[in-house]
Structure 1
Amino acid sequence: MVRVQPLVLPGVYAPQDDTALLAGALAEEPLAPGSDVLDVGTGTGALALQAARRGTRVTAVDVSWRAVFAARLNARRERLPVRVRRGNLFTPVHGRSFDLILSNPPYMPVASAPGCSGPRGPARAWDAGRDGRLLLDRICREAPGLLRPGGVLLLVHSALSDPASTLAFLRASGLKASVTRRRRVPFGPVVRAREDWLRTRGLLSAEEKNEELVVVRAELPR
């Protein structure tokens, strides 16, 4: 099978350090051929393609039409049967269940303007409210209901958006949850653009020059 770098279309989130960290966790996850996998917030489809190469049945979802087009194009380039649907988080897969759910959602805290209904344009790929949990809380609340017994959620986000809340939320839903991977990376352009505000809020210390990314693994007991 030919493996190529995914095409990144304008306005679509390009695979970065968080994608790579989650890809490493996915590579270590035991997946039987024919397992059902869901990639929520697929972007270019990079993670969906990685799962599909292992013979799984993959559904990928994104709210952005550009991302949907990019993921479909990348799946076609590799001749992989990934089903790509447009929709808000789990809406397109209502009533279905999965062996594995992957998600690299928007998670960056932002000083939202009063009356703002939410991020627009490319910022939808990273801005997630003042605490960074605009979508994380929804994923933690809704994902457990889509997992089969023994199913796993792999979720990546920044330490700036409170991994302890993610763990508490998932454990309260009956999942066994822990942080399985961590990586510190230099500030990217999104963090640098709001660095002063993050320090003012106490989310970054005066000395910090790196952002910590984490992968949370949560399993529904059999």
Structure 2
Amino acid sequence: MGSAVSLRRFPSPEERPAALRVCRLPGVYAPQADTRLLVAQVRHEALWPGVRSLDLCTGTGIVAVAAALRGARATAVDVSRAAVAASRLNALLHGCRIRVLRGDLDGPVGRERFDLVTVNPPYVPSQDARAPSRGARRSWDAGRDGRLLLDRICVRAPGLLTPSGVLLLVQSSLSGVAATLDALGRGGLRTRVVERRTEPFGPVMSARAEWFAALGLIAPGAWTEELVVIRACRS
């Protein structure tokens, strides 16, 4: 991987004319189908000027940008220094203001509450039970069941929302959609799946296909996953 900044067009699923552009620094997760699904759901939410939004595991910050362009007072958080820099660059690129913080999940925002919380966390099952401490794999590897971050998010999400707040979370079918729905429900949130989309495996998933099949996560010879967007709220 080189050191040059990557600048590319980021189309929405509907290929809208006003597509977002993305500046991506080396080591930062490149927006893919999961990011596009989350951006599309942000665009579908009934937001109003001044709504407080929080994007965790923000990567390039493009989901936070989508919220800010709709008038949100957006905050973005990531543990990666490169992701923090990329998020600030993308806010400048789109002429919007985003508060970008570095830290672990909601740690940097303390007791703040938000009207919209979005998350595209690492969710790919890995043969390493621990999360990587550095490198590109930190953007997708999430322990043997893919739930190292998902379980923590499910516990913390209810406390991040205002009484009318909404959580939007995207994950793979390989990392336990039912487990996420159950965990959020135990936290007092009403949940539903608002989007499902079958996607072919990319290079990372393809390299692990045999291992996924051995675990029973996919059928032998399968080369697709289902991406799911979950919406959760109190009422």
Distance 1:194 1:212 in 2: 16
Q: Is the 8 A contact 1:119 1:127 kept in 2?
A: no
Q: Is the 8 A contact 2:131 2:143 kept in 1?
A: no
Distance 1:220 1:117 in 2: 31
Distance 1:119 1:55 in 2: 34
In structure 1, the partner of 2:138 is 124
Distance 1:37 1:85 in 2: 13
Change (3 A) 1:117 1:100: closer
Change (3 A) 1:91 1:193: same
SS in 1 for 2:143: coil
Asked if 1:182 is matched to 2:196, the reply is yes
In structure 1, the partner of 2:11 is none
Asked if 1:140 is matched to 2:154, the reply is yes
Change (3 A) 1:56 1:136: same
Change (3 A) 1:117 1:54: closer
In structure 2, the partner of 1:167 is 181
The residue identity in structure 2 corresponding to 1:11 is: G
Change (3 A) 1:117 1:6: closer
Change (3 A) 1:119 1:127: farther
In structure 1, the partner of 2:38 is 22
SS in 2 for 1:6: strand
In structure 2, the partner of 1:85 is 101
TM-score by length of 2: 0.90
Which has the higher relative contact order, 1 or 2, with Cα contacts under 8 A spaced 6 or more apart?
1
Summarize the alignment of residues 41-80 of structure 1 with structure 2, pairs less than 5 Å apart: 41-80=57-96
In structure 2, the partner of 1:95 is 111
* CA deviation string 1:61-114 (max 9, x = no partner): 00000000000011112221100000000000011000000000000000116x
Q: Is the 8 A contact 2:210 2:220 kept in 1?
A: no
Q: Which runs of 5+ in 2 are unaligned?
A: 1-17
Q: Is the 8 A contact 2:209 2:223 kept in 1?
A: no
Q: Which runs of 5+ in 1 are unaligned?
A: none
* CA deviation string 1:90-146 (max 9, x = no partner): 000011000000000000000116xx5645311000000000000000000001001
Question: Number of residues paired by the alignment?
Answer: 218
Report deviation, 1:207: 4.0
The residue identity in structure 1 corresponding to 2:65 is: L
Report deviation, 1:3: 6.7
SS in 1 for 2:23: coil
Q: Is the 8 A contact 1:40 1:102 kept in 2?
A: yes
SS in 1 for 2:185: helix
SS in 1 for 2:195: strand
The residue identity in structure 2 corresponding to 1:157 is: Q
Within the candidate set 125, 149, 152, 1:109 is matched to 125
The residue identity in structure 1 corresponding to 2:198 is: R
- Percent identity for Structure 1 against Structure 2: 53
Distance 2:51 2:27 in 1: 31
Q: Is the 8 A contact 1:167 1:178 kept in 2?
A: yes
Distance 2:156 2:65 in 1: 24
In structure 2, the partner of 1:197 is 211
